[in-house]
Structure 1
Amino acid sequence: MHVFLETEQLVLRPFADTDADADRLFALDNDPDVMRFINGGRPTSRRTIQAQTLPRLLHDYPCFGTRGYWAADEKDTGAFLGWFEFRPLDDHSPLVVELGYRLNKAAWGKGYATEGSRALVGKGFTDLGVERVTANTMTVNTRSRRVMEKAGLSFLRNFTGDWPEAIAGSEHGEVEYALVRADWEQRR
């Protein structure tokens, strides 16, 4: 198994186009609590996982020479916890990346999201040529907002996204957090 990044508790690895990873994603995306702030908790079909989700997670970014989505496994047990996103907004430029995460409920409240996010931010600024990290969530998603803050990102703005279907809480809009390299370097 190729390892992209290791932390004290996590191993971040590329997803594989396998039934095992498809099964893991299917279980993750079919937990209504996990998907609450993504699609209102609606189930995702196995076909959607195979035709849309997995191909998106397998995409290579030329500016990184690698992918932008990483399966997160618990280091000690190898258990699948979810995934992290650290992908360039432009395939050909590493300057601005989006940070994201989706972890199963068993992983909540254990510091995994913060630990993985901090590690990715550090790798981005030291090894990948990143100048700015951005992250978005629904305004009402206080847990995700707290992870962004703990990872060093600062609140930037509120905005109203274009939701194809409104879900509970979307009427309050979304928030954007960001961190630039110079601020990250000052805090180290």
Structure 2
Amino acid sequence: MVRRPGPQAPAVIVTDRLRLRTVVPDDADDLYALEQDPQVMRYLNGGRPTPRIPPQDPTLYRMPRGAESDVWAAHHRQTGQFMGWFALGQGDDRIGSLGYRLRRHAWGQGYGLEGAEALVDHGFRILGMAAIHADTMAVNLASRRIMEKLGMRHLRTYEEPSQEPIEGAEAGEVEYGITAEAWFDRRTLS
């Protein structure tokens, strides 16, 4: 379910256990704290803490600061606890780009799949995307499992040039994707 309470209010998507809402500047502290966990950042920058950047500075696409309309803060519905974020950007070609990052305490409990599934469905049903892709390091098996459970197929393995060495980078990056048609076919079968 998606609710848009008003023109200035963030959009909200509610799942069984999560409440996703577009990020606002007040989310900056939670987003920053998430990026300070070396395990969370392991496959992104080798586990190094990320410097604090003002919310209005768009220099780092993968590091939300609280001002991006395509990034959704995820909170536990019952406790209100910040669980992480999900992102769904869209280019001119109607192909979405899915991303997510969760706090460690949320790992292995299905929150990643639950939030990603809600956002992918939103991308196809509400935003009219033709396809949605997601990328991760080939060695990030947990992220790959989420992509596969979403029904995404492996599209390619490629090298991502990195200025700093990250353990596992030698295995490359992988891109997964699903079309709107495949998404709706899967939903009909389940």
Report the TM-score when normalising by structure 2.
0.86
- Residue 75 (structure 2) pairs with residue 76 (structure 1): no
Instruction: Name the SS of the counterpart of 2:133 in structure 1.
Output: strand
SS in structure 2 opposite 1:97?
Answer: strand
Unaligned runs of 5+ in 1: 60-66
Map of 2:105 onto structure 1:
106
User: What secondary structure, in the 3-state scheme, does the structure 1 residue paired with 2:75 have?
Assistant: strand
Q: Which residue of structure 1 aligns with residue 127 of structure 2?
A: 128
State the shift of 1:50 in Å.
7.0
Change (3 A) 1:14 1:73: same
CA distance in 2, matches of 1:5, 1:159: 33
Structure 2 match to 1:97: 96
After superposition, the Cα gap between the structure-2 partners of 1:54 and 1:126, relative to the gap in structure 1 and judged at 3 Å, is closer
Distance 1:28 1:123 in 2: 25
Shift of 1:184: 1.2
Select the structure that is richer in helix.
Answer: 1
Contact 1:133/1:180, CA 8 A, preserved across alignment: yes
State the Cα distance separating 1:43 from its structure 2 match: 0.9
Is the CA contact 2:97–2:134 (under 8 Å) kept in the aligned structure 1?
Answer: yes
* CA drift at 1:58: 1.9
Residues 11 and 75 in structure 1, CA contact (< 8 A), matched pair in contact too: yes
Q: 1:4 aligns with which of 12, 22, 25?
A: 12
Q: Distance in 1 between matches of 2:41 and 2:56?
A: 18
What root-mean-square deviation, in Å, do the aligned CA atoms of Structure 1 and Structure 2 show?
1.8
Q: Counterparts of 1:129 and 1:3 in 2: how far apart (Å)?
A: 16
How do residues 122-161 of structure 1 correspond to structure 2 at under 5 angstroms? 122-161=121-160
Matched letter for residue 147 of structure 1? I
Within-5 A mapping of 1:30-69: 30-47=36-53, 51=57, 52=59, 53-55=63-65, 57-59=66-68, 67-69=69-71
Contact 1:156/1:177, CA 8 A, preserved across alignment: yes
TM-score by length of 1: 0.86
Shift, 1:164, TM fit: 2.0
SS at match of 2:89: strand
Unaligned residue ranges in structure 2 (runs of 5+): 1-8
Displacement of 1:54 in angstroms is: 4.4
Contact 2:55 2:67 in 1 (8 A): no
Q: Which residue of 1 aligns with 2:174?
A: 175
CA distance in 2, matches of 1:17, 1:158: 35
Aligned-residue identity in percent? 44
Using a 3 Å threshold, how does the CA distance of structure 1 residues 50 and 185 change in structure 2: closer, same or farther?
closer
- 1:11 is paired with a residue of what secondary structure? strand
User: One-letter code of the match for 1:115?
Assistant: E
- Structure 1 SS opposite 2:182: helix
Q: Contact (CA 8 Å) 1:154, 1:179: kept in 2 or not?
A: yes
Moved beyond 6 Å, runs of 4+: none
1:98 is matched by which residue type in structure 2?
A: S
